[in-house]
Amino acid sequence: MSEIWVVVIGGTLVTFLPRIAPILFLSGRKMPRLVERWLSLVAPAILSALLFPELLLSSGSLAAFYEQRYVYAALPAFLVAWKSKSLFGAVAAGMASAALLRLLF
């Protein structure tokens, strides 16, 4: 039973420390403009790395662009995200267009 607690506590520390460390050490400090600019690009890069393989691959291989149903659902979401800079708006547009595509096809 003690091994389970070691794993639970270790898992908690491994997930909690990387999230709390920047808050503790960097709050109230002014970051250089270059670092702020670089950090502003981290979230879109991670989101792209998660989304594009799902949108472009079919059964583990690259599929033609026009064959991917979710690409058509993603296009309005990308447009809304680009114009509004709103994550909620982009997700809502993507979900609505995916639902509409499923309803129509």
pLDDT tens, 27-75? 888 889 999 999 888 888 888 888 888 777 766 666 666 667 778 888 8
Q: Which pLDDT value is given to residue 39?
A: 87
Task: Compute the mean pLDDT over every residue in the chain, rounded to the nearest whole number.
Answer: 86
Res 95: pLDDT: 92
Cα(91)–Cα(94) distance, integer angstroms: 5
> Residue 25 and residue 43: Cα distance in Å, rounded?
20
Predicted confidence at residue 9, as pLDDT, reads: 94
Q: What does the CA dihedral 15, 17, 18, 21 come to, rounded to 10 degrees?
A: 160
pLDDT at 1: 66
